[in-house]
Each structure stands twice: as C-alpha cells, then as structure tokens.
Amino acid sequence: MDIHVKEPVRDGARRRDKLEGAILAAATRLFAECGFDGTTIAAVAERTGISKQNLLYYFPTKNSLYGRVLDDVLDDWLERMAHLADAAGEPADVLRAYVGAKLRFSREQPWASRVYAMEVIGGAKFYGEQIRARVVPLLRRDIEVFERWMADGRIACVDATHLLFALWAMTQSYADFSAQMALVLDKPELTGADFEDAERLIGDMVVRAVASTA
C-alpha cells in the first residue's frame, strides 16, 4: 500500500518552526503593548492568522508562550551583547560600541525590549530566576571589565556599577519611552536620525564620564 506522506520530516519541522516564529512575533508585540494579562491568546492567534485552539496546540498554556517570548528576547539580546566585554581595544571605543549595540537592539527589537521592561517593572515575578541566572552574570562581568580598566589606569575611577546602570537606562529608554519621546519631538515615531543623535550624545556622555580629569 502506498501511503502518502504529506510532508517529509524536514519540511514539517520547518513549517512548524515558521508558524511558531509567527506566533512568537505576534505574542511579543501584544505582550509589549498590552501586558501579560491584557494580552489574550485569542488576540495572538488572530494576529497570527490561526485559531485560538491551533495556537494552544503549539503552546499548551499562556504561561508557556510568555516564557518562550522572554527566552527568545534574552537569546537575541545576549547574542548581540556577549562579545562586547571580551573586546580588546581602547575603552572609549568599546564603550561606544556597547552603547551602539544596545541602542540598535532598542531600535530593531522595540517590542522585545518592552516585554522585558514590563516584566522587570512588575517585579520580575515570573522571570526573576532566569534574569538572575542569565542576565545578572553578564552585567556583573561588564562591571568587572570597567573596574579592571580603572585598576589599570585606563579610565578614570567612577562607580562602575552605577555607570552600567546609567548606560543601560539611557539605551533602554529609547525602546521603552519612545512613545513619550515621539510626543516631545512632535513626530509619529522616532527615526533613524533620532537614534544617531542619541548614540552620539550617550556615547559622548559615557566616554566623558570616564575620561581622566587632566
């Protein structure tokens, strides 16, 4: 008997991945805009173009969907930022690259940034352990890099921890507070030029903060 196999395994897997990706993209945006409880799986399904029940086949619970969204946010962000602390080169250049990379993430993945921000603002009740395990070590390592530079006399002595907090805050806000920024600038949304201005100012501020006071 000739059994008709609809799709080879690989195509099936590819299709599954593609649909999962579409669901996650829709979910990321909606979680960012409406928060966890404000987002319904029906709305995610509709935006994806599938039925609610079909979505529940791929993500059996709302929590599992939310968890995957946050996992993917972190994966993307960690991948972009991981190499920076290892970077050899002048501290000023590394700092500017760091600012640029973080700002680029705010620009290219604003919803990812905002989902993460909302989770943290709410106290990270859902994702706190993952942050402790995956984000905190990275931030601590960055702080240590700053402190080594200071010990080696390559930059001026400042509070490395709060310098990193400041750097994070300034870059993160171009995703999280872009709605308010756009209102101040009286334009529908931030443009590439705005991000260039931001990168210049933030880069200058950070570099100046650690410049030796001749």
Residues near DNA (CB under 7 A)? 12, 15-16, 19, 39-42, 50-54, 56-58, 60-63
**Other C-beta atoms within 10 Å of 196: how many?**
11
**Other C-beta atoms within 10 Å of 76: how many?**
14
Tokens at residue 68, please? 């995957």
User: Which is nearer to its own copies, 17 or 197 (by Cβ)?
Assistant: 197
User: Which is nearer to DNA, 22 or 84 (by Cβ)?
Assistant: 22
Shortest distance (Å) from residue 179 CB to its own copies:
5
User: Which is nearer to its own copies, 48 or 106 (by Cβ)?
Assistant: 106
User: Which is nearer to its own copies, 37 or 86 (by Cβ)?
Assistant: 37
Contact residues for its own copies (CB under 8 A)?
Answer: 32-38, 114, 117-118, 120-125, 128, 131-132, 135-136, 139-140, 143, 158-159, 161-163, 165-166, 168-170, 172-174, 176-177, 179-181, 183-185, 197-198, 200-202, 204-206, 208-209
Shortest distance (Å) from residue 53 CB to DNA:
4
Q: Could you tell which of its own copies, DNA, none binds residue 98, using a CB distance below 5 to 8 A set by kind?
A: none
Q: Could you tell which of DNA, its own copies, none binds residue 165, using a CB distance below 5 to 8 A set by kind?
A: its own copies
Tokens at residue 190, please? 């931030």
Collapse the DSSP code of 82 into the 3-class scheme (helix H, G, I; strand E, B; otherwise coil) and give the result. coil
Nearest to 48 by CA among 68, 24, 70, 64: 24
Q: Residue written as tokens 């993430």?
A: 105
Q: How far is CA 46 from CA 52, 76, 109, 136, 200, in A?
A: 7, 25, 22, 36, 41
Q: Could you tell which of DNA, its own copies, none binds residue 63, using a CB distance below 5 to 8 A set by kind?
A: DNA
Q: Are 146 and 207 a contacting pair, CB within 8 Å?
A: no
CA atoms of 164 and 97, how far apart (whole Å): 14
